């Protein structure tokens, strides 16, 4: 694994926090965060494997980017489990 358990928890916390603010992270942003924490660039499939491995801690709603024209229609509940 690229990240140890504690660093994975930091990534999960960031993803959850951003989703609560209705600002879900894209896979590219998650990869950049992981690269900063790990000190090297992750492989291409990092996000899908990460979500699959940690699906008990998060769901994949952060994969969907927001359409700015519908931003006001979005609510926190639309990004919760």
- pLDDT one-digit tens code per residue, 28-42: 888 889 889 888 888
Contacts of 76 (CB under 8 A, 6+ apart): 20, 22
For the residues 17-22, what does the mean pLDDT come to?
Answer: 82
Tokens of 27: 């896979």
Tell me the pTM.
0.64
DSSP per-residue codes, 11-72: HHHHHHHHHHTT-PPPHHHHHHHHHHHHSSPPPTTHHHHHHHHTTTT--GGGGSPP-GGGGG
């Amino acid at each position: 694994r690229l990240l140890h358990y504690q660093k994975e928890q930091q990534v999960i916390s960031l993803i959850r926090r951003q989703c609560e603010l209705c600002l879900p992270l894209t896979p590219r942003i998650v990869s950049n965060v992981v690269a900063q924490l790990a000190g090297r660039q992750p492989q291409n499939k990092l996000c899908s494997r990460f979500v699959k491995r940690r699906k008990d801690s998060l769901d994949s709603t952060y994969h969907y980017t927001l359409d700015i024209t519908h931003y006001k229609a979005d609510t926190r509940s639309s990004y919760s489990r």
